[in-house]
Structure 1
Amino acid sequence: MHYIQGEARSQGSLFPVALDELVPEDHLVRVIEAYVARLDLREMGFSKVQPRKTGRPSYDPADLLKLYLYGYFQRIRSSRRLEAECQRNVEVMWLLGRLAPDFKTIADFRKDNSQAFQATCRAFVQFCRRVGLITGELVAIDGSKFQAVASARKHLSLKQLKRQQDKLEKHIAQYLAQLDAGDAEDNREPIDRAAVKQALQQLHRKHDNNLTTQALMEAQDLEQFVVGEADAKMMRTHLGPRVAYNVQTAVDSEHCLILHHAVTDAGTDNQQLEPMATAAKAVLGQEALSVTADAGYSNGEHFQACEDAQITAYVPPNRALNTQGDGQQFERDAFTYDEPSDRYQCPAGKTLTLKQLNRGSRIYAANPHDCASCPLKPKCTQAKQRYLSRHAHEAAFERMEQRLAAHPQMMLRRRSIVEHPFGNLKQWLFGNGRFLMRHFSGTRAEMSLAVQAYNLKRAINVLGARRMIELLT
């Protein structure tokens, strides 16, 4: 029985195969070619768009952009691996016309065009908006932590530095005690004074550096600092504390396309609702917008700001729990607020009046005499009188709770919309979820390319490559 035989490596051909014949009509690279051809790279801010009249000619930014879009689509982010693809991958040879830039040229292009990559993301979103892939009916917002290049060993915090300072001072005291003991007349165990003095010098040097670092951080009002990557922060992740960035996305509900993204250094999401919702609204160009997010975005000030901007938000309010009396005492909702008189009424019918303002919150207190004689006091408070705080944006919290009660399906919709893109970005594009570049300029360039590749993949899956090429040309 014979096997299928391949062609001999030394076999010549009368008509050599053209590159164009090796790439199908509906291939990804043809979509990338059509997309990049319609971009105005000068308007988007790419460097070296205008070739110089003297010196060695540079590579066309369009060719390098095609290479990066193809690389991120195929999970190839390393500039050295992209260089290798140019020399062995037929698809890349077709896309670049057999150009083979070196890895330094490829890496510099990504480093120098962070803002321009973000502009290409916005341009593709507008294209998807025009062809009906984005409707703007509902936008889901979410954040996820992506590890930075810097390791945890490069992280400094004031608490950590103060602990190190105490340890260094104890070590210094121990060595000084050894020297004092060596000077005693009854000392029978000789010590190496030169070694001890050398160790003391090293300890003093470390101690001085520690104090200098603390002084610099306090002068700049910094609680933490990452050596070599000042924009990154130590954050809590599902893997434990990591030096990372918090990536925010706003995702359209129609086909889970990412409308807007941002790379931040915020350790939590509770300050991100309003800026992300406002940015998504600006991208869509709508007068009103509906957004949904998880409880991590709960913020009364942002709830009110969204309402003022005609943004209807659906976010579970994250309120403090009553921990007094093992949680068996009356909760806040057991008290009725009367807005005209600005008072609360307790379950026993007594009145709580405004006592003071505390950082924007209003503190109400019951009359101590009313509480002393109240039969419900064991279920209300262990103090002499019951206190109740009202958030500065309590009305916005109440309206949010009413909206969620009227639309309980919003949290399920949020999960189905926004979890899909992050799953793809972390597992499909980033692999281990770590950036390759440092600082905001580098991480934003990488994330823009990743978001562009994700959106391109989604659009091809929905429309098909042939239809995409027709719409782009």
Structure 2
Amino acid sequence: MAYIQGQARDQTSLFPVSLEDLIPEDHLVRVIDAFVAKLDLIRLGFDKAVPKSTGRPSYDPADQLKLYLYGYFQRIRSSRRLEAECQRNIEVMWLLNRLKPDFKTIADFRKDNKQAFSATCRVFVQFCRTVGLITGDLVAIDGSKFQAVASSRRHLNVKQLKRQQEKLDKRIVQYLAELDEADKAEAGETIDRSAIKTALEQLEARQLNNLTCQALMKSMGIEQFNTGESDARMMRTPKGPRVAYNVQTAVDAEHCLILHHDVTQDGNDTQQLEPMAKAAKEQLQQSELSVTADAGYSNGKQFQACEEAGITAYVSPNRAVNPRSKEKELFEREDFTYDAQQDQYRCPAGKLLTLKQLNKGERIYHAAISDCSNCPLKGQCTDAQRRYVSRHAHEEAFERMEQRMQANPEMMVSRRSIVEHPFGNLKQWLFGNGRFLLRQCEGARAEMALAVSAYNLKRAINVLGVRRMMELMG
């Protein structure tokens, strides 16, 4: 039995096949085309949205935006690969009407419209909210590290510079000693004094450069700096320390659509709950909002700020562990009763602990030495002369958070199912576990805006279908 045969390459036809005939009615490129057609590119701030009356005509920013949305949808981020797709991909030919911009034009469009991409992302979020894909009943917040363009070999930090300085000082002392030995050497011995002097000059130049870097970083108030990308920071990732950015997302629980995102330089998430929750609330245009996040967002000041803004947060409190003896269990802070009116703690033995000092936002209370020395419960309380108890400046906010979490233990399970899904897609499907292509925070934000737009677009198509999306956009 013969195989299925295709048409001969030199076969001709009376009526050539058009691109319109090759693209199905329910193809995703039709959604991209319809979405971009509805955008007000001038209001969004796209460069060259108004064509000039003189000079060589430029490419329509709408066509280039279609190309990038399609590229990020298909895991194609390189401008050279997008140029190749314009020449061989029928879907791109249909989308761009057979336009073939070169890679430099494609790359410049992404470089020159960084703010406009973020605005476009917000417009699609508002569209999803209008058609009911986003309800705003519950929002999950999470962060993940995405590797920057810069190499870790070009990264400097104060501790590293100080270690290098110590090594350079030792080597300079060694070379100076060798020069002294050369001066004392007998005439018969041959010591290359010029070579030692040249090496010493090179070490002194490196030492001066090191000290200059330390002085500059101290004057700028920074602990680390990357010479290839000043905004990037060394962060802990599952693959070890990497030069990266901390990407934050706020995801709606209804269909796991990303409401808001941001690219930050913070190595952890402790300062991100309030800004992300407020941004999500503003995007939803709601007077109240419920958000959930993991223990990495535990921060009493942030809890208090969210409550004052009408945001109900569900975060696992991450508290400091009470000091323990190696041989026995000691009384926990919860075993002490706090009197808010007197601002005092009462220990299990009935003795009072008074305020001693304030330490970085914490209030430190201690008992009298005489009370502890004569206490029959001292062996269960402390091994020191007296017992100390610390109280956070926003302890009441922590207590209210603990009560909410005890009443709603399912929130952590919901958080995982909501927010882990988008990050998994962004890393595997869009970035392919790669790194950003653009440098600095602004460039990383532009790339993330395109990636989030592509993710939300794909998610909306999966929920509604192409035909329904076309109807709603029409």
**2:207 aligns to what?**
207
- Residue 189 of structure 1: CA displacement? 4.7
Residue type of the partner of 1:250? A
Q: Show CA shifts across 1:431-462 (max 9, x none).
A: 12411110011101000000000000000000
Partner of 2:145, secondary structure, is: strand
Residue 424 (structure 2) pairs with residue 408 (structure 1):
no
Q: List aligned pairs for 1:163-242, cutoff 5 A.
A: 163-186=163-186, 189-242=189-242
- 8 Å CA contact 1:136, 1:284 repeated in 2: yes
- 8 Å CA contact 2:151, 2:228 repeated in 1: no
Partner of 1:126, secondary structure, is: helix
Residue 237 (structure 2) pairs with residue 264 (structure 1):
no
Q: List aligned pairs for 1:314-353, cutoff 5 A.
A: 314-326=314-326, 328-353=329-354
**2:6 aligns to what?**
6
**1:108 aligns to what?**
108
Q: Show CA shifts across 1:239-281 (max 9, x none).
A: 1111000000000000000000000000110000000000000
Task: Provide the C-alpha distance between the structure 1 equivalents of 2:193 and 2:395, rounded to a whole number of angstroms.
Answer: 69
Stretch deviating more after TM superposition (89-98 or 199-208): 199-208
Q: Show CA shifts across 1:37-81 (max 9, x none).
A: 111111010000011111110000000000000000000000000
**2:386 aligns to what?**
385
Residue type of the partner of 2:157? S
**Percent identical across equivalent pairs?**
72
Task: Provide the C-alpha distance between the structure 2 equivalents of 1:12 and 1:51, rounded to a whole number of angstroms.
Answer: 40
- Residue 302 of structure 1: CA displacement? 0.4
**1:424 aligns to what?**
425
Q: Show CA shifts across 1:105-164 (max 9, x none).
A: 100110111110000111000000011100000000000000001111010011111111
Task: Provide the C-alpha distance between the structure 2 equivalents of 1:276 and 1:85, rounded to a whole number of angstroms.
Answer: 37
- 8 Å CA contact 2:373, 2:385 repeated in 1: yes
Task: Provide the C-alpha distance between the structure 1 equivalents of 2:70 and 2:303, rounded to a whole number of angstroms.
Answer: 40
Q: Show CA shifts across 1:156-200 (max 9, x none).
A: 011111111111111112122222112214476522222222211
Task: Provide the C-alpha distance between the structure 1 equivalents of 2:175 and 2:353, rounded to a whole number of angstroms.
Answer: 63
Task: Provide the C-alpha distance between the structure 1 equivalents of 2:181 and 2:224, rounded to a whole number of angstroms.
Answer: 40
Partner of 1:325, secondary structure, is: coil
- Residue 365 of structure 1: CA displacement? 1.4
**1:249 aligns to what?**
249
Residue type of the partner of 2:274? E
Task: Provide the C-alpha distance between the structure 1 equivalents of 2:16 and 2:271, rounded to a whole number of angstroms.
Answer: 61
RMSD: 1.1
- 8 Å CA contact 1:111, 1:441 repeated in 2: no
Task: Provide the C-alpha distance between the structure 2 equivalents of 1:348 and 1:51, rounded to a whole number of angstroms.
Answer: 81
Residue type of the partner of 2:256? C
Q: List aligned pairs for 1:291-310, cutoff 5 A.
A: 291-310=291-310
- Residue 367 of structure 1: CA displacement? 2.1
**1:118 aligns to what?**
118
- 8 Å CA contact 1:32, 1:70 repeated in 2: yes
Runs of 4+ aligned structure 1 residues displaced above 3 Å come to 185-189
- Residue 340 of structure 1: CA displacement? 2.0
Q: Which structure 1 segments of 5+ residues have no match?
A: none
- Residue 355 of structure 1: CA displacement? 2.3
Residues 367 and 4 of structure 1, relative CA distance in 2, 3 Å threshold = same
User: TM-score w.r.t. structure 1 length?
Assistant: 0.98
Q: Show CA shifts across 1:368-420 (max 9, x none).
A: 22111111101111121111111110000000000000000000000000000
**2:471 aligns to what?**
470
**1:85 aligns to what?**
85
- Residue 333 of structure 1: CA displacement? 0.7
Partner of 1:72, secondary structure, is: helix
**2:63 aligns to what?**
63
Partner of 2:235, secondary structure, is: strand
Q: List aligned pairs for 1:137-152, cutoff 5 A.
A: 137-152=137-152
User: TM-score w.r.t. structure 2 length?
Assistant: 0.98
- 8 Å CA contact 1:181, 1:187 repeated in 2: no
**1:158 aligns to what?**
158
Q: List aligned pairs for 1:27-46, cutoff 5 A.
A: 27-46=27-46
How many residues align? The count is 473
Task: Provide the C-alpha distance between the structure 1 equivalents of 2:450 and 2:167, rounded to a whole number of angstroms.
Answer: 46
Residue type of the partner of 2:467? R
**2:452 aligns to what?**
451
Residue type of the partner of 1:256? C
- Residue 22 of structure 1: CA displacement? 0.2
Residue type of the partner of 2:440? H
Partner of 1:324, secondary structure, is: coil
**1:460 aligns to what?**
461
